[in-house]
Each structure stands twice: as structure tokens, then as C-alpha cells.
Chains A and B, each alone.
Chain A
Amino acid sequence: MRKTNAYWLVLLGLVFAAIILPLFIFLPSQREHADPWTFLPERPPHTDHSSLMKGPFPDGPSVTEACLACHQEAAHQVMQTSHWTWESQPVTLPGHDEPVRLGKKNAINNFCIGIRSNWPPCTACHAGYGWEDAQFDFKQEKNVDCLVCHDNSGTYSKGNAGFPKEDVDLVSAAQSVGGPTRANCGTCHFRGGGGNAVKHGDLDESLYFPSERIDVHMGKYKFLCTDCHQSQDHNMKGKAISVSFDDENQVACTDCHAPNLHKDDRINSHVASVACQSCHIPSSAKQHATKTHWDWSAAGEDIPEDPHVYLKKKGRFEYQKDLLPEYSWYNGLADHYILGDPINPDTITVITSPRGDISDPDAKIWPFKVHRARQIYDAENNYLIQPKTVGKGGYWTDFDWDKAARLGSEAVGLEYSGHYGFTDTEMFWPITHMVSGKEEALQCVDCHGESPRARMNWEQLGYPGDPIYYGGRQLDRTGKLSNAGGGRHVN
């Protein structure tokens, strides 16, 4: 009897199979993409540390020591990351005999130019305590600043050389610790260049509580920075070409989103040559104007000051809100001016520039904020100078360029001829934050045709003309450019 029972079950199974199988085969399938939410990290509730961090804590390092009592690996991990080292792994560069390490530690830019000999105010953003000069000990675990990233009280802040400011209540800050919030990241990254919105254009204090129109991830979906900049052993994903050469451990839209998810094939055909950011970030600096030009040569005048127009210490500025990006090919790698590299003072020196061109299959058209400046260089040796600006003998104290150049050059170990001048420089800053919702993504007319909205310079990008008429670039199987828009395919 038991056998019969099993038998009718099989029969019933067959009946269901006869219904379900055809349904499964013939129902029209829809193009399904993995749900992007599945790629987001979990946010486990953080342990309440208020009973664990009793204090008293006389200074920052004593908090760190308390942390390390349980999180023994933490400081060691942080010390491997660029938040601590402020430099990269050594990279072999053409024109340099020795491998080069690049990072905030030694990079030159066209904002405040460089940190060497100017440490205390710059290193206020170092995830450590006490970097006051070249002698800072990068091996001291207790000098790692846990609170700058993990304080959740919102009361912690750092002053010169990264020491906590006088009025910070270290006990309550230590008791509040949790995962990094927007405030933890923003305190340094939104204020790059010495103030809100100065440097990046796509990172500023509007991102603390952005509207959907400013950033769809953070505004509509309440993302934290760490939802995309996920970390492994305190090593955060993400980097920018102002201080690095490569795109290892980089964050990408496609970490969560399928690259060809557009319903429209015409749009999907763009993704081989156009970065997501190019269409989905129509403009940066959406709420706060960002600096676009800095003329150091105008500094030193006793004329009325306005932090967005002129400061005696720094010179003349231009700021722009709702900044339209400039577009360039970018394959994830970058060139960077290294102190001592020769320049031609009569042309523009590009300090950071994206690598890639129309014939590079890995390159895509990316949006950039280009920061242009006029900055000091050695008029005989023909290289850029990293002047001393801060402190005794610095330009901001004595307003003497010659002295600032001499002291700065000593600090970086470059010869100074005694003659200086000012030359034009450019830095490319990739735009990748402030992603708009799809409703505000660029439309065809924003790049193509003769519309007054068209914003691409196709000839500059290497096309013979607008690819909507001339055809796009075609790469053959070996990745070689077989047609840079020279014509269209004919059947």
C-alpha cells in the first residue's frame, strides 16, 4: 500500500510539472539585473561603549591606548592605509630613476601647493596625533587617531598637527564611538583645500544632509559614505588622482549597478565609451560654489578681502556654483607632476591629468573639475616650487616669496636658484559624487547636435566631429581603434 501512495505522489508531481514547465519556458522573460541593494554592507548596531570607555583621558593617544586594549589589530591596520601613511606604494615612473611614492605627504597641487614645512595646519586632517614636522614617528600605534573616524558624538574636532582641540571632551567622544558617519568623513573631505567646497567640487558640506537633487544616493536613499567606500581591515575603498596614480581598490558605480541596465539600447551603447558619471552628474558644486581659479601671484596686496575673491595671504580666486564639468578620456590611471620635474613656464603645466585617449579601449569619457592656478616656480631651474607658507619665515607670515621659496625648497630638498616667477598650472579632479537621479541625467541634446546645451568638444576628444553624425569609436577585437568616428557601418 505504501508503494502505491508514493506512486500517486509522483503522478501528482508529473501533473504539476506539465503545467509549470511550459509556463516557465514560454512566459516572456524580462531582463533582470541583480538588485543593487544586495551589494550594500550591513550596518550592524554598534556596541555601546559608554561603560567601556570610563576615562579619564588626558590626551588623544590615551584614548587610542584604551581602544587598542580590545581592538589590538586596529592601529596596525590603520597604519597600512593612506589615511595614515599619506603616500602610495612605490611606482616606477618614466623619467625617474627611483620608484616614486606619491601621496599627500609629498604631492604638489595648485591649491596650498604642498604640506612639507607647512605641516601643522595641514596635518590637522591626518588620522593621527602630532605630525608637526618631518620627524613624525609613523611607527607609534598610540598616535593613531581612532576618534576622528569613529566619534559619533559630533563634538570631536582636531586642531594643528592633528591634536584634539582644547575644548573636546575626550571621555564623551570615546564613549560615543561607532561606525564612521558622514560627519566623520566630511570634516576633512568636505573641507579639502582649507574650507567648505574649495577643492573637489563634488564633495562639500551640502552632502551632510543633501536633497535628492544634490545626491540621489545620500539624499533619497540615505547612504553613508561608507556604504560605497567599504573597508577591509580599515583600508577604505576609493582614491583620487590628485594624490595617486592608479585605480586599485577604487569604488565604481558598477560595484552595485549593472553597466547595461538602461532600457534603451541607444543609451547602453554609450557605456563602452562614456563613464556613468558623465551623464549622471550634470554639474558639480550644486549648492556651494567651488574654487576654479587661484592666482597666487596677486597675493600680498593690502586691498579689501573676501574669502571668495581675494585674500592677501593667498591671492585672487574664482569660485563657481553649479559647475559644468570638463570632459576627458580617463582609463583609471593618471599622470602626476613630481617635484623637480622640468616645466615649460610659457605653457600650462598639468599637475594631474587623467590618462587615456580615444584609442584606449579602457578609457571612457569622464567629467572633471579642472582647477587652474598661477603658482610659483623656479625661474632658472624651471620647476615648480613648494613654498613655505605657514609659520616662521613662511609667506603668510612675512609676505616674502623669495624667503618662502628658499625655506620651502630646503624642506623638500630641491635647489632654489634665487629667481622665481609665476606660471599657469592645471589639475584635473574627477567628478564622481553628487549623482543626480535619472530624471536629471543628461539627455542627447546635452552633448550632441547644435543645441545651445551641447557641452562636448568632440574634436578635442579625438573625434572628427559629433559621433551622432560621424559615428562613434569602434575598437576591434584586439582593442585597437579601427574607426574613430570616421564613418558609419554599411550593410
Chain B
Amino acid sequence: MSIKRASIAIFWMMLAGTLLFAQEQRQFHPTFPLLDGDGQNVLYSGKPVSTMTTCQTCHDTRFIEKHSQHSWLGMQDLAAMDSSAIRGPYGRWNPVDFRYFDRDKLDLSLTEWRTVFGSKHAGGGAAAREPFDKAALQTVEMNCFLCHLPNPDNQARLKALRSDAPAWANTATLAQTGIVENKGGWQWQRAAFDGEGNLKQAYSQMSTPSDANCALCHDHVHRNPLEPFTLGQPTGVNVSKTGEVFSSQRIFDSGLNIAGKDTLARAWDVHAERLVACVDCHFSTNHPNYYAESDATRPDHLKFDPRRMSLRNYLEKPSHQLAAGPHENSSGAVVSCQSCHQADQSHDWLPYKDRHFAVMSCESCHIPRQLTPAIREVDWTLITPAGGPRVDYRGIDGAPGDPTKLITGFRPVLLPRMDEDGLSRLRPYNLITGWFWVMGPDEKPVPLAVLKAAFLNGNGYRRDVMERLDQDKDGRLEDGERARADQETIRFLQDLLAGQGVENPRLKGEVHPYAINHGVSNYRWVISECTTCHSDNSILYQPVNLSGKGPGASAPAFADNIAPVVEGAILSGQGGGFNFKPAPRAHGLFVLGHDTLSWLNIAGIALFLMTLLGIALHGGLRVIASRKHGHQEQPVKKVYMYHTYERFWHWLQALAIMLLIFTGIIIHAPQHYGWLDYAFTVHMHNILGFILLANAFFSAFYHFAGGEIRQYLPEPRGFFSQAISQTLYYLQGIFKDAPHPFEKEPGKKLNPLQRVIYLIILNILLPVQIVTGVLIWGAQTWPQISNALGGLTVLVPIHSFAAWLFAAFLIMHIYLTTTGHTPMANIKAMITGWDELPATEDHKESKA
């Protein structure tokens, strides 16, 4: 046995060894020659490598370049350029990057573009495109190495881009590979090539981009989980715009100085922690693994079209339009959380699950808080001597690169945005306010070059600027001094700009929302406490600070053509700052537990309180009167007044209504009932509502079938005089211990006032309450019906007003039960069914 086992073991060990060995040796990408722009082998020409020519041997680089937003960055829309309508870095101006590219007026020369934006761009960008004069400039080709090489040298690339020989930038990307070396000039290393001039196997390894490749430009991606994540100097563009971090590292293992860090055991992003790589969501849109036909074109009888593009074809023409969120790019392929997740399978604990999914994005709860700082305000009023803006951050008190400053983080603001399915959902955003000079009738931002000419001389601020603003005369302008908001200073700067020929320069404040999609957490760390939104301090209504000490006397406004719908108001804050106060209710969102104090609600409370007061007065007077007159004991007789079912129906209704009012108050104002679980209470309220409905249904059947309904119908003859005599009894007779004007008997249990009130309660109030309740509950299942009746913003106030009427009726009703021949007589009768009635002559027989 042992020999057999040993031999099997040895076989497996050998096999494993072979596999391991093979794995180290197995390299998929074939060898290839590096070609220059003329198609010559660089080894012989000594020229920079041309990726477009080299890779063209197997891959259709023209196709790739044409289908790649990394190459175009929105340039395809340039022909129809309207500076506000175009997405992406070219057309769409934003106050953080500030520089813009305009066909008529170049704020940025092409060379400048290359050095400013080229660092974040895998290709030549504008410099490689029509209508710009390509020949006049040294262009930079699309850089395949940057994304597909396991160890690209981005620093060498950036250095080359900023040099006067940017054509070597793609070659420089190979600096760490040993293929090329920079010895006062880039030299191709013969040792890396075989005899035929091809790269040797070990040097020719290109692969799918890893997160490390993406991290070279998208610096919210943290490449190495073993290295503590820190905010470099300067902070990356993405990190500072949104505070997003994509890393598998646990936050408490990061190198950031975050408040309460030691409890933050979650990873920066749960997807990164679970090995979802960048390209798993941002995949090539014709990749045969990911390609999925849209529901619109896929025939109904198919759930999956198995015909796939062959890997060969894919490798030849891989689309480099990567999937992304709907508003983040123009590639057309949309990924969202729902592309992979079936949220309805995992949220059973959540009341009104479908309603939440219809109005909230996943990110709203699953990206609860940003734990890195993000820009709050960018102020270009008076640029720094280096030509930059004054930048303020949220989530930290100070500069993000300063490790002595404590990061407190911030809660993203939730704004509604239209999704692909036509529903508008709340999503998290960071709001960045930009202050900048605009000119002319079309409010074009004043180019940076003009700002520099107006405010700076060769080596700092102009003398008159310094004299005017340097209050402490230390020869420098601190942030506080540059952020002067007084009108005189503004006018002074305006004059300086006008001196540069700027037409009608004026300051503008614009708020730009930046969507937050990364940095997702899972169940343990998300917003799952209902009262976070459903209470009087709902985060949906929390004001967010836009500007601490902005220069503008007038408030900033949201930029045009932004993705989210802005509902809310920009209000002046303390010390000249501005806050944005969201108002989701204006967008048709009714937040239970927060949106409560409508006039209808106040009227309901008033009515309830008046009833309470009336009872107290009446009751007090009755007590005084009974002391004065005494109470005459009367002979009584027992009458079987209430049938079993009648009593069952009554008490079930009583208990259900009381519990509904109780749970309703908690849903209404949960902040006072922290000890009760909100979700549990909502579930309970719904179930109680259906119990009430079922009870009402059965009793209606009982009353109609048995003819009991007649008891509730006011007698047509003499109703008014009867009602008046009953009213008079309550107002006068009751204090004199007078007999009830109408005698109660099994066939005629209700007095005229009761009849009319119960008729109203059971036929108007109860149905209104049940119908509005069912519609509020059904807003998730049949939103169109609820919306047709005004939506939650109408239904909920009616429901709560009616609830107050119920409460008022309830106390009135309970009070009036004490008006029997003894205070407890009526209640006892409703419990046992046997009523004790005054024994008049007529009833002597039944007494006997």
C-alpha cells in the first residue's frame, strides 16, 4: 500500500513541479519587433518606438485609438463644441482644473496641454488631433505600454513629456524593462532582442491592465495593499475631488491620520478587498466575456445569446471604450451596482424595500462617509504667485498632505439624478464651489494667462496688489489676505483685469457636483439605521457647507448642465460663507419621520388638543355637579346588548387602532423613541393596518348580512330634534343626573349622535385611513397609482391628519362610555355583552 501511495504522491509532486515550472516559464504574449514610426526596427534605426506601428502588426491600432475614450477624452464632440455641453476634459470646463481648451481662444497652448494634462493621459490628446496643426508640434502617440506593461515607468514618461522631446515619452515608459536605457539619450539594449530583432520572450510580456496600471493616472486607486495608503503631495486629482479611495487595505492599516481610525476595520473599498479589479467593472465593451446584448434589442425568447466574438477577433479589434457609469463617460456601456448585484435578494430586513430601491441609489447607503479629504472650494479670485487657486478642503482642518492634521471625513450630499431606467435616485456627491472671473456677455472664464498678466509680475504679485492686500506687511499674501471679500478689493482687482482688456470682468461662484461611486462598504459599515434619514435630523436635509470665506458678495449657483437635479436652497452661512440646504421633498420625496409638520398635521394636533380640553372641562363639571346633586341609585335590569362577534369586532378594532396610533407616532417622530427599532415599528404598523382592514371587511359583511347596519342609520323622521335633545342632555341633563333621553335596547343601541358620528367614522374616516395607508404601503408596488393620487407628499399628510382625528375620536369615545349609569357600566357591557339598564316600567318583565 505504502509503495502505491508513495508512487502516487511522487507522480503528483512531479506533476505539480512541472506545472509550477511551466507556469513560471509560460508566457502568453508572443515576441515582436519594436518598430518606429516609419515601420523600421528601432534596434537599427535608433528612433523612438511607435506603438501605433508596432502593435499594428497584430492589433488594429487605428480601431483601438478610434474606440478609446482614453485616447479621445471627449474630443469626438469637439466639432460640435459648445463649451458647456461636452463631457470630458476637453470641452467641459471645471473650476478645479480651470484651464480650458477652446477652438477660438486657446487658454492653453498645445505644448502646455501636453505638460499639464498629458501626465494623466495615455495618448497625445489634443496634440495628435485635427483641427490642430499636428505637423507644427511634436505629437505623442497613444501609449499602449502605460496600461499593458506589468512594470511601466511613469516617472520617466512624465519627464519625457515635459521635455522638449516628447516623442520619446512612450519609449521612456519602457525604462524599467531593460529594453531601453537613458544614457544621455535613449539607447535600445541589444541584450533584450533576439537575433531576428524581435524582443526576447521575457521582455515581450504585455497583459490585461492591472489595478497598478490604472493607478498610474487614477490616483484614487491604491496599488500595493502592503504599503500604507497616504495622501501624497500634491494629492491626486480624483482623491481631492471626491474623497474616493479604491484599495483592499483596511482603513486602520492606512497611513492617514483619521479620527477614530482604530475602529475602522473595513477595507477602503469592498470590491477591491474582494478582488474585483478596475477592469472587471470597466471592461472592454466588446470583450466576449462581458458582452451582453441590451434588453432592447435582445429578442424576448432569448435570455442569452451564446454567439460570441472569437478571441482572435477580439484581440485584433478590442474596443477600448470601457464600461462606466452613465454620466462618467460617453462610451455608451453602462455599469452600475445592479449590473452584478441583485439587491432585492439581500435587503429583506428593509421595510419598503422596493420604494427605497426606486428612490435611492445603492451608493447612498453603501458609501456612507468619505474618510479622505476632498475639495470644498476653489478660489481663483486672486491666484497664487505660482498661478494656482486658493483651495479649501472638507473632511480635514488644513492641508490634506499635512500628517499632523486630523481627518474627520465628510458625509456626501445626496442629490437625485436620473438613471438609465428613467427613475430618479438619490446619489452621493461632493460639491465643489469655484470662484472665478468671467468676462463678456457669454460669461466665459477669464483665461489663466490674463489673470497672471493682471495680478502678477515676473516674480510675484504686482506691487499695487501687495500694497493693497498685504495687511500684516510681511511681504507675503496669506490665504486670509487673498480671500478678502470686501467690495473695494473686488473693484480693485476688476480694474486690473479691465486694464488687460477684459470686457466687463466680474466674479462668479459656481457649484459643481462630483459623483462618488468608489469606496463602497458592505453591510457592517453602511447606513442601516433608519433614523439616519427618517428623523427630524435626517441627513437628507442636512445643510452642506459650500464656501467658508468666499470672495463673492452674491451667492454661488449650481453650474448648468450637471447630472443631478438640484432641489434646495443656497443660503448665507456664518462669516460670509454659503451653505446648500437640500430639499428632497421638492423633488417628490416624502421622508417619513422627517417631513411631518405640514399645516394639516398641525390642524390635526390642534383638533386633538381641543377635544382633550373639552373632555377635561366636561368631566370636571360632571364631577362638581354630581357632588352637588348626588347620584340616585336606580333599579337596574340586565339586558344582553352586544353579541359575541360584535364585541370581538369592537375590541379587535379598538386594540388595532390604538396600536396603529402608537406605532404611527413613532414613525412620525422617531427621534423621541430611540429605544424602538424603526424598521420593526414600520413592519408592525403595516401588519396592524391589514388586520384592521380585514376586521373592517368582516364586520361590514356582518352588519349588512344581519341587518345590523340599520342601527347606524339615523332615523329620518325627527332626527334633528332627537339630535338636539341628545346634545342638550350632554350639555345640561347630565349634570342634573337626568335620565338619558333615548333608551338603549338591543335593537337600538345607539343614540342619534352616535349614529351619525359612527357613520362618519366607519364610512369616511376609516376608509380614508385604510385607502391612504394601503396606497402609502403600495407606493413601492404600484407607484403609478400612488403617484396619480398625488404621491406620498399628499397621501402621508392626509393619513396623519386622519390619524389625529382617530385619536380625538378615541378619547372622546372613551370619555363618553363613562356617561352610563355608573362610569364603568358601558365598558363592562362591551366586555361581557350584558348591559345594565335603568329598570323602567316597560322592562319589568325582562328583569323578572
Q: Do A26 and B831 have beta carbons less than 8 Å apart?
A: no
B697 in contact (CB, < 8 A): no
**B20 contacts which of A12, A444, A453, A459 (Cβ < 8 Å)?**
A459
Residues of A within 8 A of B695 (CB): 18
Interfacial residues of chain B within 808-848, with CB under 8 A of chain A in the complex: 831-834
| Also in contact, A459 and B691, with CB within 8 A (given A19-B656, A28-B683, A449-B275) | no
Chain A neighbourhood of B273, CB < 8 A: 443-445
Q: Which of A15, A30, A95, A440 has the most CB of B within 10 A?
A: A15
Interface status of B648 (Cβ within 8 A of chain A): yes
- A451 an interface residue at 8 Å Cβ cutoff? yes
User: Which single residue of chain A is at the shortest CB-CB distance from B522?
Assistant: A264
Q: Is the CB of B691 within 8 A of A19?
A: yes
Which residue of A has the minimal Cβ distance to B654?
A15
Q: Which residue of B lies closest to A469 (CB)?
A: B275
* Cβ-defined partner of A94 (8 Å) among B2, B274, B656: B2
Question: Are B680 and A27 in contact, CB atoms less than 8 angstroms apart?
Answer: yes
Residues in B whose Cβ lies below 8 Å from that of A453: 225-226, 248
User: What separation, in Å, do the CA atoms of A460 and B651 have in the docked complex?
Assistant: 71
Residues of the B chain whose Cβ atoms lie less than 8 Å from the Cβ of A452: 224-226
CB-CB < 8 A to A7: which residues of B?
832
In the complex, which residue of chain B has the Cβ closest to the Cβ of A14?
Answer: B648
Q: Report Cα–Cα, A460/B19, bound state, in Å.
A: 11
User: In the assembled complex, which residues on chain B have CB atoms less than 8 Å from the CB atom of A443?
Assistant: 248, 250, 267, 273-274
Would you give the 0/1 interface string for B707-749, flagging 1 where the beta carbon is closer than 8 Å to chain A?
0000000000000000000000000000000000000000000
Q: Looking across the interface, which residue of chain A has its beta carbon closest to that of B695?
A: A18
Q: Do the beta carbons of B644 and A11 come within 8 Å of each other?
A: yes
B688 in the interface, Cβ–Cβ < 8 Å?
A: yes
Are B275 and A4 in contact (CB-based, < 8 A)? no
Question: How many contacts A-B (CB < 8 Å)?
Answer: 93
Return B205 CB to nearest CB of chain A, in Å: 14
- Chain A, Cβ-Cβ closest to B828: A8
A317 to B655, CA, bound (A): 77
A262 to chain B, nearest CB (A): 11
A263 contacts B by Cβ under 8 Å? yes
A221 contacts which chain B residues (CB < 8 A)? none
Question: For residue B275, which residues in chain A have a CB less than 8 angstroms away from its CB?
Answer: 444-445, 448-449, 451, 468
- What are the residues of chain B within 8 A of A4 when measuring CB–CB? 832-834
| Given A4-B834, A8-B832; A451-B225 close (CB under 8 Å) | yes
Q: Does B600 lie at the interface of the complex (its beta carbon under 8 Å from any beta carbon of A)?
A: no
CB-CB nearest in chain B for A452: B226
Chain B residue with Cβ nearest A25: B687
* B interface SS class: helix
B647 at interface, CB cutoff 8 A: yes
Given A4-B832, A8-B833, A453-B225, A445 contacting B19 (CB threshold 8 A): no
State the interface size on chain A (CB cutoff 8 A): 37
Q: Which of A15, A22, A28 contacts B648 (CB 8 A)?
A: A15
- Whether A451 pairs with B248 at a CB distance below 8 angstroms is yes
Bound Cα distance A95, B497 (Å): 98
Using Cβ atoms and an 8 Å threshold, which residues of chain A touch B16? 459-460
Chain B 641-679 interface 0/1 with A at a Cβ cutoff of 8 Å (1 = within): 000100110011001100100000000000000000000
Assuming the A-B contacts A11-B647, A12-B651, are A445 and B688 also in contact, with contact meaning beta carbons closer than 8 angstroms in the complex? Answer: no
CB proximity to A under 8 Å, residues B334-393: 348-349
Query: Residue on B with the closest CB to A263?
Result: B523
Complex CA–CA separation, A449 to B684 (angstroms):
45
Interface of A is mostly: helix
In whole angstroms, how far apart are the Cα atoms of A263 and B690 in the complex?
Answer: 31
B656 to A, closest residue via Cβ: A19
CA–CA, A438 and B659, complex, Å: 40
Any B CB within 8 A of the CB of A439: yes
Give residues of chain A (92-121) contacting chain B, Cβ–Cβ below 8 Å: 94-95
Chain A residue with the shortest CB-CB distance to B15: A459
B265 close to chain A: CB less than 8 A: yes
Chain A residues whose C-beta falls within 8 Å of the C-beta of B684 in the assembled complex: 23, 27
Tell me the chain B residues, 265-280 only, with Cβ under 8 Å from chain A: 265, 267, 272-275
Give the nearest-CB partner of A16 in chain B: B655
B1: Cβ under 8 A from any A Cβ: yes
Chain B residues bordering chain A, tally (CB within 8 A): 43
Docked complex: A20-61 residues within 8 A CB-CB of B: 22-23, 26-28, 30
- Cβ contacts under 8 Å, B656 to chain A: 19
Residue-wise interface mask of B (684-709) relative to A, using a CB-CB cutoff of 8 A (1 in contact, 0 not): 10011011000100000000000000
Chain B residue with Cβ nearest A4: B832
CA–CA, A11 to B834, complex, Å?
A: 14
> Could you say which of A5, A443, A468 has the most chain B C-beta atoms within 10 Å of its C-beta?
A443
- Residue interface bits A434-474, CB-to-B below 8 A is 1, else 0: 00001110011100111111000001100000001000000
B residues within 8 A CB of A5? Answer: 832
**What separation, in Å, do the CA atoms of A4 and B19 have in the docked complex?**
87
* One of A14, A22, A27, A445 near B225 (C-beta < 8 A): A445
Distance from B686 Cβ to chain A, minimum over Cβ atoms (Å): 8
Give the CA-CA distance A5 to B834 in the complex, in Å: 11
B19 touches A19 (CB 8 A): no
Chain B residues with CB under 8 Å of A26's CB are 683, 687
Given that A22-B691, A26-B687 are known contacts, is A459 also in contact with B19, CB under 8 Å in the complex? yes
Alpha-carbon distance A8/B827, docked complex (angstroms): 12
Q: Which residues of A contact B267 (CB under 8 A)?
A: 443
A14 to B: closest C-beta gap in Å: 6
Complex alpha-carbon distance, A84 and B367, angstroms: 58
Shortest Cβ gap from B32 to chain A (Å): 24
Give the residues in chain A near B832, CB-CB below 8 Å. 4-5, 7-8
Q: Which of B2, B226, B655, B833 contacts A19 (CB 8 A)?
A: B655
Residue in B265, B523, B833 whose CB lies within 8 Å of A440: B265
Contact B19 A18 (CB under 8 A): no
Give the residue name and chain of the A residue nearest to B227 (CB). A452
**Quick one: given A22-B687, A22-B691, A27-B683, are A8 and B225 in contact (CB under 8 Å)?**
no
Question: What is the bound-complex CA distance between A459 and B523, given in angstroms?
Answer: 33
Beta-carbon contact of B655 and A8 below 8 Å: no
* Contact between chains at A11 and B648 (CB < 8 Å): yes
Task: Report yes or no: B274 in contact with A444, Cβ–Cβ below 8 A.
Answer: yes
- Nearest CB of B to A346, in Å: 14
CA–CA, A255 and B639, complex, Å: 65
> Could you tell me the distance between the alpha carbons of A444 and B402 in the complex, rounded to whole angstroms?
32
Residues of A within 8 A of B224 (CB): 452
Q: Judge whether B248 and A30 touch: CB under 8 Å.
A: no
User: Using Cβ atoms and an 8 Å threshold, which residues of chain A touch B644?
Assistant: 11
> B residues within 8 A CB of A440?
265
Nearest CB in chain A to that of B303: its residue = A491
Query: Separation in Å of the A361 CB from the closest CB of chain B?
Result: 19
The reply to whether A30 and B349 contact each other, CB–CB distance below 8 Å, is yes
Give the residues from 266 to 323 in chain A that come closer than 8 angstroms, CB to CB, to chain B.
266
Most A CB contacts (10 A, CB to CB) among B272, B275, B647, B832 go to: B275
C-alpha spacing A18/B274, complex, angstroms: 47
The smallest beta-carbon distance between B752 and chain A, in angstroms, is 29
A15 to B659, CA, bound (A): 13
How far, in whole Å, are A8 and B650 apart by their CA atoms in the complex?
A: 13
A402-422 near B? 1/0 per residue, CB < 8 Å? 000000000000000000000
Chain B hits for A8, CB < 8 A: 647, 831-833
- Contact status of A19 and B652, CB under 8 A, knowing A445-B248, A459-B20: yes
Choose one: A27, A448, A450; the contact of B687 (CB below 8 Å): A27
Q: Give complex CA distance A30, B644 in Å.
A: 37
Interface string of B97-116 (1 = CB under 8 A from A): 00000000000000000000
- Encoded as 1 (CB less than 8 Å from any B CB) or 0, chain A from 233 to 261 comes to 00000000000000000000000000000
**8 contacting pairs across A/B (C-beta < 8 A):** A4-B833, A4-B834, A22-B687, A28-B348, A439-B265, A444-B274, A444-B275, A452-B225
A-B pairs with lowest CB-CB distance, top 5: A439-B265, A449-B275, A15-B651, A445-B248, A444-B274
Q: A28-B683, A460-B16 are in contact. List 14 more A-B contacts (CB 8 A).
A: A8-B647, A8-B832, A11-B651, A15-B648, A18-B648, A22-B687, A23-B684, A263-B523, A264-B522, A439-B265, A443-B248, A443-B274, A445-B225, A445-B273
